[in-house]
């Protein structure tokens, strides 16, 4: 359920292991598994991924992106960068790979262009699920279901959310992930210091505007990846999963920080902006917004020293991400209410195999991936995390269905030919400039 990155990974892994397209269905409205991500990436102006070489869509671990890049461009440069953790695949490159994986696995053939509105557990004649669309029409039955609905809605601090209801102010307050346009000479407040906010600093400076970078704390905590690198490894994940749920949620609160890989290109742009007097940093919270001569008049208070006070700005961009509560996703909310699935602080209390308690069984799995699973797999909402969860789910399904696995030589040949096709396609994609 869900037609994003997660669907591509589960489908590709299922095909690799030996399931056929007759045995898989993907439910979702998008013709393209990268559609949802691509729109956000475009709005943000993202050119390279936050993630590194290992985050790709092929079923096994290899070839990684740096290996594919070296293969395609006959240059070891990407490998050398990757060894030093300075390689981030370009957005164009990963979209190219996704297109090849989609085509080679015939992703479109298994997609049912409907949104799932309800999933019901049935036990007869064997444990399975009945699926209904959002108008309560029957749309199918499935023995195993992966819930991959992606993110909840974009999140705004309450003062901004309220101001957006005022038609006079609404157009000037946007989320970093929304479409937007900056005016040369304009003056913008950008809230946050994660990768989305830093991207916007650079976008505004590049177009000739000025940035007031607003953070709540004087030294916002950010890191290269969305959790420390050790939590991307199975040893780290095992240690994390071995903690009780409450401790995991607390731990996640401590380690989950804004992502801000050190990128020398951005640093140079920001340094240039600072020297020209077009970049300044402020500490505080916006507590009032009204219309003003530059567009908006904004009051900022600070808990760390003097209040910055009233400011005239052209607009505000919030790098505040998505609402992370599962209760904001209608299908999950219905499941939670009907089946009494436990939820703590907006997070599903999933089993350690990402199964939904009371509904998941080894012979008929109901599993979650993506952001909704990050209390089990801390980097659940990254390509690497989706892969980790997707592979385990498919392996469980194969075990339950006593699947006759694709023989090793056939898997090897499939993987090699898909890698070759990606490398071939990458030759016609211009190399994306690395920022690290």
Ligand X SMILES: Cc1cc2nc3c(=O)[nH]c(=O)nc-3n(C[C@H](O)[C@H](O)[C@H](O)COP(=O)(O)OP(=O)(O)OC[C@H]3O[C@@H](n4cnc5c(N)ncnc54)[C@H](O)[C@@H]3O)c2cc1C
Distance of CA 107 to the CA centre of its chain: 20
Rule CB under 6 A: is residue 160 a binding residue for ligand X?
Answer: no
Rule CB under 6 A: is residue 46 a binding residue for ligand X?
Answer: yes
Report, in Å, the least distance between residue 124 CB and ligand X: 25
Q: How many Å apart are CA 191 and CA 163, to the nearest integer?
A: 15
Rule CB under 6 A: is residue 383 a binding residue for ligand X?
Answer: yes
Rule CB under 6 A: is residue 214 a binding residue for ligand X?
Answer: no
Rule CB under 6 A: is residue 370 a binding residue for ligand X?
Answer: yes
Report, in Å, the least distance between residue 403 CB and ligand X: 23
**Contact assessment for residue 273 and residue 205, using Cβ atoms and an 8 Å cutoff:** yes
Give the residue, chosen from 3, 93, 97, 360, that forms a contact with ligand X under the rule CB under 6 A. Answer: 3
Q: Which is nearer to ligand X, 29 or 362 (CB)?
A: 29
Give the residue, chosen from 222, 364, 382, 434, that forms a contact with ligand X under the rule CB under 6 A. Answer: 382
- # binding residues, ligand X (CB under 6 A): 34
Distance of CA 424 to the CA centre of its chain: 27
Question: What residues have CB less than 8 Å from 374, skipping those under 6 apart?
Answer: 252, 256, 380, 381, 385
Which own/partner contact pairs does 344-350 have at CB distance under 8 Å and 24+ positions apart? 344/245, 344/246, 344/249, 345/249, 347/249, 347/372, 347/375, 348/372, 348/373, 348/375, 349/245, 349/375, 350/375, 350/376
Rule CB under 6 A: is residue 115 a binding residue for ligand X?
Answer: yes
Q: Give the CA diameter of the chain.
A: 72
Report, in Å, the least distance between residue 220 CB and ligand X: 19
Report, in Å, the least distance between residue 13 CB and ligand X: 13
Q: Which is nearer to ligand X, 98 or 283 (CB)?
A: 98
Rule CB under 6 A: is residue 36 a binding residue for ligand X?
Answer: yes
Report, in Å, the least distance between residue 52 CB and ligand X: 9
Q: By C-alpha distance, which of 45, 63, 49, 47 is closest to 101?
A: 63
Rule CB under 6 A: is residue 378 a binding residue for ligand X?
Answer: no
Rule CB under 6 A: is residue 389 a binding residue for ligand X?
Answer: no
Phi/psi region, residue 106 (left: phi>0; alpha: psi -120 to 50; beta: rest), is left
Report, in Å, the least distance between residue 196 CB and ligand X: 7
Give the residue, chosen from 11, 15, 19, 37, that forms a contact with ligand X under the rule CB under 6 A. Answer: 37
Rule CB under 6 A: is residue 44 a binding residue for ligand X?
Answer: yes
Q: How many Å apart are CA 220 and CA 266, to the nearest integer?
A: 17
Give the residue, chosen from 63, 90, 149, 194, that forms a contact with ligand X under the rule CB under 6 A. Answer: 149
Provide the mask over 50-79, with x wherever binding to ligand X is found by CB under 6 A and - wherever it is not. xx---x------------------------
Q: By C-alpha distance, which of 126, 48, 38, 28 is closest to 88?
A: 48
Q: Which is nearer to ligand X, 5 or 308 (CB)?
A: 5
Q: Which of residues 241-280 bind ligand X (CB under 6 A)?
A: none
Rule CB under 6 A: is residue 1 a binding residue for ligand X?
Answer: yes
Rule CB under 6 A: is residue 148 a binding residue for ligand X?
Answer: yes
Q: Which of residues 310-339 bind ligand X (CB under 6 A)?
A: 331
Rule CB under 6 A: is residue 120 a binding residue for ligand X?
Answer: no
Residues near ligand X (CB under 6 A): 1-6, 27-30, 36-37, 40-41, 44, 46, 49-51, 55, 115-116, 148-151, 177, 331, 369-370, 381-383, 386
């Amino acid at each position: 359920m869900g037609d994003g990155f997660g669907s591509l990974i589960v489908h590709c892994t299922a095909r690799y292991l030996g399931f056929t397209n007759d045995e898989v269905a993907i439910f979702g409205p998008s013709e393209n598994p990268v559609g949802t991500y691509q729109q956000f990436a475009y709005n943000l102006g993202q050119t390279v991924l936050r993630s590194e070489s290992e985050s790709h869509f092929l079923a096994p671990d290899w070839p990684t992106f740096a290996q594919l890049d070296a293969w395609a461009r006959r240059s070891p440069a990407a490998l050398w960068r990757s060894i030093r953790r300075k390689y981030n695949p370009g957005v164009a490159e990963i979209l190219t790979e996704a297109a090849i994986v989609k085509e080679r696995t015939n992703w479109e053939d298994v997609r049912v262009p409907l949104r799932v509105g309800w999933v019901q557990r049935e036990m007869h004649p064997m444990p399975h699920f009945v699926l209904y669309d959002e108008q309560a029409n029957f749309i199918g039955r499935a023995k195993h279901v992966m819930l991959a609905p992606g993110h909840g809605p974009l999140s705004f601090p309450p003062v901004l959310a309220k101001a957006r209801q005022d038609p006079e102010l609404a157009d000037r307050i946007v989320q970093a992930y929304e479409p937007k346009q900056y005016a040369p000479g304009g003056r913008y407040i950008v809230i946050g210091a994660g990768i989305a906010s830093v991207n916007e600093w650079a976008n505004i400076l590049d177009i000739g505007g000025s940035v007031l970078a607003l953070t709540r704390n004087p030294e916002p905590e950010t890191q290269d990846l969305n959790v420390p690198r050790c939590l991307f490894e199975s040893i780290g994940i095992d240690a994390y999963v071995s903690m009780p749920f409450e401790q995991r949620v607390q731990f996640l609160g401590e380690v989950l920080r804004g992502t801000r890989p050190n990128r020398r290109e951005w640093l140079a742009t920001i340094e240039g902006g600072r020297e020209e007097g077009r970049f300044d940093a402020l500490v505080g919270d916006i507590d009032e917004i009204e219309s003003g001569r530059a567009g908006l008049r904004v009051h900022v208070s600070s808990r760390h020293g003097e209040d910055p006070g009233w400011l005239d700005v052209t607009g505000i961009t919030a790098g505040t991400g998505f609402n992370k509560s599962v209760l904001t996703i209608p299908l999950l909310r219905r499941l939670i209410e009907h089946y009494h699935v436990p939820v703590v602080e907006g997070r599903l209390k999933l089993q350690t195999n990402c199964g939904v308690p009371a509904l998941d069984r080894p012979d008929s799995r109901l599993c979650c991936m993506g952001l909704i699973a990050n209390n089990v797999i801390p980097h659940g909402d990254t390509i690497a995390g989706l892969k980790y969860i997707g592979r385990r789910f498919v392996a469980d399904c194969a075990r339950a269905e006593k699947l006759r696995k694709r023989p090793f030589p056939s898997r090897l040949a499939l993987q090699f030919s898909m890698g070759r096709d990606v490398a071939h396609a990458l030759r016609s994609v211009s190399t994306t400039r690395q920022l690290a």
